[in-house]
Structure formats: C-alpha cells, structure tokens
Amino acid sequence: MLRAKQVQDRGEVRLGDIVLRNRLVTSSSLLGYGVANAPLVPYGMSPVSMFVPLAEFGAVTTRTLTVEPREGHFSTRDDYSLGELPGLLRRYGRVLRSTDGGWVNAFGWCNVGIDAYLRDYFPRTRDQRTIISLGGFSAEEFVTLIDRVNAAVPAGEIAAVELNVSCHNVNFDFSTILQDVLDEAVPRSAHPVILKLSPDYDYLRNARQAAAAGVSALTAINTVKALRLDPRTGEPFLSNRYGGLSGRAIKPIGLRVVSELREGGVTLPIIATGGVRTVDDCREYFWAGADAVSLGSAVWLASYPGYALAPLRALHVRRVLKAVRRWDALPERPAPVT
C-alpha cells in the first residue's frame, strides 16, 4: 500500500505527489476561502477558526468554486454587518440544520467564482497550504477551472486541486460526467489532483477510475444524502429538500468506505473525512487505511449559542493538531478479522 511519507528535514508529509505540512487538513467549505472580507468572521463560516492557526494545518481546503459566481441556495456574500445578522441567521435556517449527531446542509455550491477567489482571496492565504476545491457540471467546466488555476498559481504553490464530482446539493448526476472529467481535466492540471468520493455512488469503481486517470489522492467521504422534515407541517427544512449529512453521525460510514477501498485494492493515498473530532478519531481512520484526516463540521460547526465557547473549542482543535503533527509514522493497520 502506498502510504504517506515524511519529507526529510522539512516537517512535511508527502501523499504521492501531494505535499502537506502534516496529516491534518480542513474539509471543503467549512472555512470558506481560508480568509473572508468580514472582520466578524475572518476565516469563513466558523468563529472557532478565528482562534486556530490555519497556517499550521497540513492544508486548508476551500469551499467548492465554480467557473461563474453561484448563489446556490444561499449567497455569494461573506461581508455581512452586525445589523444584517438576524436576516442572515434566518437564511442559514434554510440551508443548514442540526440533526442527531451531525448537520444537514444544502448550500448548493454558493461561491464567488474561480476568478474572484484567485484575485481577492488566494493572495491573502499564501502562508497557508491550500487545496482548491473545484466543481462543475461538465468536463468542459472542469477543464476551464483547471486552466484558470494553472494560469494564476505556479506549480508547487498549493497542495492540490480537489475535484468535487459527488455533491448532492446541486441536483445533478455526476456519474454521467465523471469519466470525461478524469480523461480531460486531470491531464491538464499543473497541480496534483484529488478526487472527492461520495458514499452514495459506486466509490470503489470511482476510485479505480481515478487511479487509472492519474489522480494523486482521494478524499473519502463527501456528505451522505439526507432529509429533514418539519414534524408539524411535513415540509422540508432545507431549500433543496435533500441535503448532505455530515458530522459524528457519518463517522462509521466514512470508516467503512476507507476500509473497503483498501480491501478492494485501492492504493492511492486517502484523505479521510467524516465525524473527525478527536485524536482517537484520527487514529481510527489511520487504522482503517487513511493517510491523512480532515476536520469538518464535527469541529467547526456549533449551535449559535455554542459559538460563545469558540475559544475553548479552538483549544481542543489545537490539541488535536499538536498530537497529529507529532506522529512521524502512521499506526499500523490491524489485520482484518476473518
């Protein structure tokens, strides 16, 4: 199995062609673009991130970026004033809902577009190691996105680009374009390419397609398609009806997918995500076969009153980061029970 290797004398980790600062990264979308325009929340959606040194993570993954700005089911803005906060919270209620052990979201790829990101945000995050998440509805769109990143970002300045060809919040069957995306977009990239897998698609087949196409690593997993209804009216809570379930509830699914990928002979490096909150969670994913782990909604999201504890939650994140950075070698994966 191809495993992560320590880069000598630099305190970095190599996942195939991808160089990270360590084995702990942040998941797509949760921290926006790595920096924001609003002084209230300078790093994106989560106030917790204001108290965490993002530059010390293995990499920070952006929210998914499209060729053109996209409102999705929310907004492209991140510059709300305090006076707009009540309206903003009401809008959040239509795209993000807590559930038992996690969150269901349907933001629908709301983003400023690749050009605005590269012009207004990326230059302010050069102290971070970055994974740029890209999304589109055709191979042509992915080729355009890859070309824009190539033109603006010299090889080696980011960790990778991540192809989000598995999101449930945009009402599109990505299985119809995946092979074309791999065939046309991957060879054009000047940067390592990560494919993001969904547990709701044939992830083993998709992983094998990715390996054959020259993809450098896999992200496992994307959110799980889910639904929440108002028990009083029967109406869906989310604007999109269906959303993506994330958080502690999907950790057993994420572990299963990572393990099945390894058992199925997939040797590409895997960045595991889904319910990661503690050092023990990280260790479980490493034992399942992951090479790096990603912190998502289980860490960065909280109930609105819960954000008052953001500095304390950030201390916990710092402890997890410190522990993962100390690991020079991955825990050996136990032999499967037969």
Tens of pLDDT, residues 7-19: 434 568 999 999 9
Highest mean pLDDT among 47-51, 185-189, 299-303, 304-308: 185-189
**pLDDT at residue 103, rounded to an integer:** 95
For 196-248, the pLDDT digits (tens) are 999 999 999 999 999 999 999 999 999 999 999 999 999 999 989 999 999 99
**pLDDT at residue 338, rounded to an integer:** 53
If one compares 89 and 186, the residue with the highest pLDDT of the two is: 186
- With CA atoms as reference, report the closest residue to 44 among 55, 58, 28: 28
Task: Read off the pLDDT band of 331 (50, 70, 90).
Answer: low
Span of 93-97, 151-155, 317-321 with lowest mean pLDDT: 93-97
Of 114, 131, 167, 266, which is the active-site residue? 167
Cα 332 to chain center, whole Å? 25
Percent of the chain residues topping a pLDDT of 70: 92
Largest CA distance in the chain: 60
User: In this structure, what are the phi and psi dihedrals at residue 6, rounded to the nearest 5 degrees?
Assistant: -75, 135
For 123-178, the pLDDT digits (tens) are 999 999 999 999 999 999 999 999 999 999 999 999 999 999 999 889 899 999 99
Amino acid identity of residue 192, one-letter, is: P
The 10 Å Cβ neighbour count of residue 67 is: 20
The 10 Å Cβ neighbour count of residue 142 is: 27
Q: Is the pLDDT of residue 6 over 70?
A: no
Contacts of residues 39-46 at CB distance under 8 Å and 24 or more positions apart, as own/partner, are 40/80, 40/82, 41/78, 44/78, 45/300, 45/301, 46/300, 46/301, 46/302, 46/310
Q: Is the pLDDT of residue 306 over 50?
A: yes
Which residue's entry shows tokens 């880069």? 7
Task: Read off the pLDDT band of 328 (50, 70, 90).
Answer: low
Q: Is the pLDDT of residue 4 over 70?
A: no
H or E, element range at 249: none
Task: Read off the pLDDT band of 336 (50, 70, 90).
Answer: low
Q: Is the pLDDT of residue 318 over 80?
A: yes
d(CA 56, CA 68) in angstroms, rounded, equals: 31
- Average pLDDT on 285-311 reads 92
User: In this structure, what are the phi and psi dihedrals at residue 304, rounded to the nearest 5 degrees?
Assistant: -55, -45
Name all domains of the chain by residue range, CATH numbers in brackets. Answer: 13-76+84-325 (3.20.20.70)
**pLDDT at residue 8, rounded to an integer:** 39
If one compares 245 and 37, the residue with the highest pLDDT of the two is: 245
Task: Read off the pLDDT band of 46 (50, 70, 90).
Answer: confident
- With CA atoms as reference, report the closest residue to 102 among 196, 221, 195, 240: 221
Question: Number of C-alpha atoms within 13 angstroms, CB side, residue 216?
Answer: 22
H or E, element range at 58: none
Sign of the CA dihedral running 331, 333, 335, 336: positive
**282 catalytic residue (yes or no):** no
- With CA atoms as reference, report the closest residue to 107 among 35, 57, 164: 164
Mean pLDDT of the chain: 91
User: What is the SS3 assignment for 252?
Assistant: helix
H or E, element range at 178: helix 178-184
Burial of 230 (0-12, 13-18, 19+ CB in 10 A): exposed
d(CA 60, CA 33) in angstroms, rounded, equals: 9
- Average pLDDT on 56-68 reads 97
Task: Read off the pLDDT band of 82 (50, 70, 90).
Answer: confident
Amino acid identity of residue 153, one-letter, is: V
If one compares 80 and 147, the residue with the highest pLDDT of the two is: 147
